[in-house]
């Protein structure tokens, strides 16, 4: 599949909102109460919210786009860092999702490289992230890329606590 990875613009909002909700629900649908999931999707994949984030540059979204449309996306933003990283100039990779059906084709890896390059160009010394502790495929991908585990903590989706691993990748 031919695709390109680029920074998202306002015109990508509908596609990101749709893909974001589908992929998040697929990733966490089995472990989160349906009511919690509904509230989370409505809050975080609201096109108005995405428009505000992209317009104000409070978050940077990247899309992988093929002839079929957006097949993956990533989100990067300056957030409250975990205590272990308080003194580090690292930025959070908040989301990295590929459309189900397009896994294993290099799209996630290419998005990750684009995000790292962008973070470096903005003066950050690396990325940190949270990943569900049972998501062994993603953890494997991050470790292969140089991320290391810092510990774990609960991440709340509505009222549901989910055990997540904190990871960091500091670049030289």
Ligand X SMILES: CC(C)(COP(=O)(O)OP(=O)(O)OC[C@H]1O[C@@H](n2cnc3c(N)ncnc32)[C@H](O)[C@@H]1OP(=O)(O)O)[C@@H](O)C(=O)NCCC(=O)NCCS
Whole-angstrom distance, CA of residue 28 vs CA of residue 16: 18
**Binder to ligand X among 2, 83, 87, 104 (CB under 6 A)?**
104
**Binder to ligand X among 17, 108, 166, 168 (CB under 6 A)?**
108
Choice between 141 and 150, CB closer to ligand X: 141
Please identify, among the stretches 50-58, 79-87, 93-101, 155-163, the one whose residues bind ligand X according to the rule CB under 6 A: 93-101
**Binder to ligand X among 21, 105, 158, 160 (CB under 6 A)?**
105
Backbone angles phi, psi at 125, to 5 degrees: -95, 5
20 part of the interface to ligand X, by CB under 6 A: no
| Residue 43 C-alpha from the chain's centroid | 16
> Environment class of residue 46 by beta-carbon count within 10 Å: exposed (0-12), middle (13-18) or buried (19+)?
middle
Choice between 10 and 31, CB closer to ligand X: 31
**Binder to ligand X among 131, 165, 166, 168 (CB under 6 A)?**
131
**Helix (H) or strand (E) run with residue 160 in it:** strand 160-170
149 part of the interface to ligand X, by CB under 6 A: no
Under a CB-based contact definition with an 8 Å cutoff, are residues 94 and 20 in contact? Answer: no
> Environment class of residue 148 by beta-carbon count within 10 Å: exposed (0-12), middle (13-18) or buried (19+)?
exposed
94 part of the interface to ligand X, by CB under 6 A: no
Chain contacts with ligand X (rule: CB under 6 A): 23, 27, 96-98, 103-109, 129, 131, 135, 137-138, 140-141
């Amino acid at each position: 599949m031919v695709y390109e990875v680029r920074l998202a613009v306002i015109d990508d909002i509908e596609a990101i909102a749709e893909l974001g909700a589908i992929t998040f629900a697929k990733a966490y649908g089995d472990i989160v109460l349906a009511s919690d999931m509904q509230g989370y999707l409505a809050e975080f994949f609201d096109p108005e919210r995405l428009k505000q984030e992209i317009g104000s540059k409070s978050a940077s979204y990247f899309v992988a786009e093929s002839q079929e449309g957006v097949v993956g996306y990533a989100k990067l933003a300056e957030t409250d860092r975990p205590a272990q990283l308080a003194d580090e100039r690292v930025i959070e990779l908040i989301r990295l999702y590929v459309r189900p059906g397009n896994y294993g084709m290099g799209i996630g890896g290419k998005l990750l490289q684009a995000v790292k390059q962008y973070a470096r160009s903005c003066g950050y010394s690396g990325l940190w992230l949270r990943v569900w502790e049972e998501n062994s495929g993603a953890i494997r991908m991050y470790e292969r890329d140089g991320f290391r585990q810092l510990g774990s903590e609960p991440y709340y989706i509505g009222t549901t606590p989910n055990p997540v691993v904190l990871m960091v990748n500091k670049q030289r």
